[in-house]
């Protein structure tokens, strides 16, 4: 079946990676966002699926896929042409980052409650666990584009120089 935007065969690879109707805009958004996040840039093609190890990059790709699919459906069902805007993608990425932070903070807060009832040697282990959780979150999510503000009560656990916490 021909793709309504360009007349080419409608395959997943064509819709998401090759369609000339949006590939230039998609590539620009992808490279701009990766650059602002301090990540290596990649050409927007099927090989980007090899770069899903970092949560921020994986979620950026998923958000762009969703925007492309939404654009396709608007054209097919509503006969309305929409443009994918960079600020929309970044806003969705920041929302996703905040949700990941909320989950991380919930785990840390639970650990802090448990810690208060433990002996000193167990407390030290839990301190290390909290530091590790903060480091993992930072490596996966924080970037120069948007960094989570670390609450005061957690600053003492942030002992890594490689994080972007404010």
Burial 92-130 (b: 16+ CB within 10 A, else e): bbeebbeebbeebbeebeeeeeebeeeeeeeeeebbebb
Q: What is the CA radius of gyration of the chain?
A: 20
The tokens of 142 are what?
A: 């924080």
Residue 46 near residue 19 (C-beta atoms within 8 A): no
Helix segments in the chain, DSSP class H: 12-13, 23-36, 55-78, 86-115, 120-140
- 43-78 pLDDT, tens digit each: 999 999 998 999 999 999 999 999 999 999 998 899
The pLDDT value recorded for residue 161 is 46
Q: What is the pLDDT of residues 97-156, one digit of tens each?
A: 999 999 999 999 999 999 999 999 999 999 999 999 999 999 899 888 888 888 999 988
Query: What token pair was written down for 114?
Result: 């448990």
Question: Tell me, what's the pLDDT at 101?
Answer: 96
C-alpha to C-alpha distances, 97 to 26, 56, 114, nearest whole angstrom: 21, 7, 26
- Total count of residues recorded for the chain: 166
Dihedrals phi, psi of 2, to nearest 5 degrees: -70, 145
**Residue 33 and residue 93 in contact, taking contact as beta carbons nearer than 8 Å:** yes
């Amino acid at each position: 079946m021909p793709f309504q935007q360009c007349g080419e065969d409608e395959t997943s690879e064509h819709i998401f990676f090759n369609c000339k109707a949006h590939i230039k805009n998609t590539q620009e958004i992808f490279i701009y966002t990766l650059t602002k996040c301090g990540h290596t840039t990649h050409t927007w093609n099927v090989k980007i699926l090899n770069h899903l190890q970092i949560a921020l990059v994986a979620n950026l790709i998923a958000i762009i896929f969703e925007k492309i699919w939404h654009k396709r459906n608007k054209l097919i069902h509503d006969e309305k042409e929409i443009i994918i805007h960079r600020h929309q993608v970044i806003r969705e990425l920041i929302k996703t980052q905040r949700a990941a932070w909320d989950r991380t903070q919930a785990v840390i807060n639970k650990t802090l409650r448990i810690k208060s009832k433990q002996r000193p040697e167990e407390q030290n282990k839990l301190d290390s666990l909290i530091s590790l959780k903060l480091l993992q979150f930072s490596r996966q999510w924080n970037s120069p584009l948007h960094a989570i503000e670390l609450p005061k009560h957690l600053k003492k656990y942030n002992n890594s120089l490689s994080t972007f916490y404010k």
